[in-house]
Amino acid sequence: MIKKLKYIDILYFHMMFDILLACDIQGVIGINNKLPWSIESDASFFRKKTLYTDLPSYKNVVIMGKNTYKSVGFLNGRINIVVSSSMYNERHLKIFGTNLNDDNGSNNENEKNLILAKNLQHALTISMLLNDIEFVYVIGGADLYKEAFNHPCCRFIYLTEIQSQFEGDVAVNRPKIYKYFELCKASQVLDIDRLTNKEVTLHYNKLVSKRYLLSGKV
């Protein structure tokens, strides 16, 4: 028998989000506001995941912290929500003065698809109110991940673990992630890190939130 969805279920469903994250074996994710590596399969996994929608007219939302936005710029083809209390408060100092990279579209698209939010909850509420959205991804950095890991609407983490050690100044707490999330799918590939020219193995791990499992919504 098909369960009748209640209004509250529909709201809850729309608030759900997933996390995309790549780290080394010690949880390092960044250095000098950049990625510590340059690995094509990691970048292409991120691109495919955030751009792909089942329905061609739909878009995905990417939610990122201020520093990550300053590092990667506007991500074309996706609705970008930047979480920053300072940018939100001084919205005119903003958006277009930052370092926009190759992944950019025209300023018009940027203007339409870039939204500022005060905090993660605000970003999720905005996502819920947008039309034609398929998936919502929190894409970092470390500051934003911290809040996202503990959020009740976090469903999956797509965790790319690079089986190597990198120098870094920002990291995530891997043991803590595995305390609250459970591995549900795993695969691996071999690639080259273009910054060091070394061969690296990437483990693609899909983790599900234990809280989400308990809610019976899986």
Ligand X SMILES: NC(=O)c1ccc[n+]([C@@H]2O[C@H](COP(=O)([O-])OP(=O)(O)OC[C@H]3O[C@@H](n4cnc5c(N)ncnc54)[C@H](OP(=O)(O)O)[C@@H]3O)[C@@H](O)[C@H]2O)c1
* Interface residue list for ligand X (CB under 6 A): 21-23, 29-30, 33-35, 64-68, 71, 83-87, 119-120, 139-144, 147, 170
The residue among 167 and 218 lying less far from ligand X, judged by its C-beta, is 167
Cβ 61 to ligand X, closest distance in Å?
Answer: 15
Q: How many residues does the chain have?
A: 218
Cβ 169 to ligand X, closest distance in Å?
Answer: 7
The residue among 85 and 215 lying less far from ligand X, judged by its C-beta, is 85
The residue among 33 and 41 lying less far from ligand X, judged by its C-beta, is 33
Cβ 37 to ligand X, closest distance in Å?
Answer: 8
- Using an 8 Å Cβ cutoff, are 62 and 81 in contact? yes
- Using an 8 Å Cβ cutoff, are 79 and 113 in contact? yes
| Sequence-distant (≥ 6) Cβ neighbours of residue 194 within 8 angstroms | 37, 38, 39, 40
Cα distances from 56 to residues 17, 23, 133, in angstroms, run: 20, 31, 11
The residue among 53 and 119 lying less far from ligand X, judged by its C-beta, is 119
The residue among 194 and 217 lying less far from ligand X, judged by its C-beta, is 194
| Among the listed residues 186, 129, 192, the one whose alpha carbon sits nearest the alpha carbon of residue 161 | 186
> What is the CB neighbour count within 10 angstroms for residue 55?
8
Residue 101: helix, strand or coil by DSSP?
coil
Cβ 26 to ligand X, closest distance in Å?
Answer: 12
